[in-house]
């Protein structure tokens, strides 16, 4: 819980006019922190329900989002990559470096993710910044005749990966359920998880 609370502010939007993005939401033995782009949760017996202001701890009369609808369903055939704690830490180091190199940009930098049978590739393809990191991972249910792809805000991805790196545990990173529609990316580890919305990438997105 301590690591979750230490990182929760990154996953809220305290400047939003909507109070639900200021709050930690307790429900069903789980607590959530979310903003319009990403969500993180941790499981546990917290003994309370409802929304509580992150800064003051005061209970809020805020709308409780339907978090169950936000989390992509996991099936036996779902494609995902498994990362060791050490590999997640190395991936976080790479992403932090990319964020630092793009700190003065006005527009958020994107990173493209590709699930492959043996590695998972993280690619930045900008006019002044071309970099790729091939993360060693163990793939499950990978369709060998194609690459599952996604595109994310590199800072948001770094925040999520950094959270899991601090937990020092194995992590699963699921490919989008519908690659061509750029549906959200799901991350899971023991007792915790996260969901990240994608950035539109016209090399991936294809409306049915």
Question: What is the tens place of the pLDDT at every residue in 56-115?
Answer: 888 988 777 788 899 999 988 888 999 999 999 999 999 999 999 887 787 889 999 998
pLDDT of residue 144: 58
pLDDT of residue 206: 73
Residue 145 has pLDDT above 60, yes or no: no
Residue 12 has pLDDT above 90, yes or no: yes
Q: What ranges do the domains of the chain cover?
A: 1-69, 80-196
Rounded to whole angstroms, the Cα distance separating 87 from 93 reads: 10
Residue 172 has pLDDT above 70, yes or no: yes
pLDDT of residue 119: 83
Q: What are the start-end ranges of the E strands in the chain?
A: 23-27, 30-34, 38-43, 50-53, 59-60, 80-83, 110-115, 119-126, 129-136, 138-140, 148-153, 171-174, 185-189, 192-196
Mean pLDDT of 169-176: 94
Rounded to whole angstroms, the Cα distance separating 158 from 132 reads: 15
pLDDT of residue 136: 79
Rounded to whole angstroms, the Cα distance separating 150 from 155 reads: 15
**Distance between alpha carbon 173 and the CA centroid of its chain, in Å?**
9
Mean pLDDT of 7-15: 90
Fold category of 80-196 in CATH: DNA Polymerase III; Chain A, domain 2 (3.10.150)
Residue 123 has pLDDT above 90, yes or no: yes
Mean pLDDT of 128-134: 90
Residue 168 has pLDDT above 60, yes or no: yes
Model confidence at 169, in pLDDT bands (50, 70, 90)?
Answer: very high
On the 0-12 / 13-18 / 19+ scale of CB atoms within 10 A, 136 is: middle
20-63 tens-digit pLDDT: 888 899 987 899 999 999 999 999 988 888 999 899 888 988 77
Rounded to whole angstroms, the Cα distance separating 33 from 21 reads: 8
Asked whether the beta carbons of 95 and 83 are under 8 A apart, the reply is no
175-202 tens-digit pLDDT: 998 888 889 999 999 999 999 999 988 7
pLDDT of residue 24: 93
């Amino acid at each position: 819980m301590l690591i979750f609370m230490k990182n929760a502010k990154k996953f809220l939007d305290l400047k939003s006019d909507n109070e639900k993005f200021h709050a930690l939401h307790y429900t069903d033995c789980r607590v959530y922190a979310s903003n319009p782009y990403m969500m993180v949760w941790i499981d546990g017996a917290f003994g309370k329900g409802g929304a509580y202001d992150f800064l003051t701890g005061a209970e809020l009369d805020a709308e409780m989002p339907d978090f169950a609808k936000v989390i992509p369903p996991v099936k036996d055939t779902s494609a995902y990559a498994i990362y060791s704690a050490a590999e997640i830490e190395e991936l976080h180091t790479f992403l932090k470096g990319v964020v630092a190199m793009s700190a003065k940009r006005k527009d958020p930098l994107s990173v493209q993710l590709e699930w492959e049978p043996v590695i998972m590739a993280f690619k930045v393809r900008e006019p002044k910044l071309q970099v790729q990191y091939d993360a060693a991972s163990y793939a499950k249910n990978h369709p060998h005749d194609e690459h599952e792809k996604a595109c994310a805000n590199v800072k948001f991805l770094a925040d999520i990966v950094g959270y899991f790196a601090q937990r020092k545990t194995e992590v699963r990173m699921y490919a989008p359920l519908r690659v061509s529609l750029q549906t959200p990316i799901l991350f899971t580890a023991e007792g915790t998880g996260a969901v990240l919305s994608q950035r539109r990438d016209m090399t991936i997105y294809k409306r049915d």
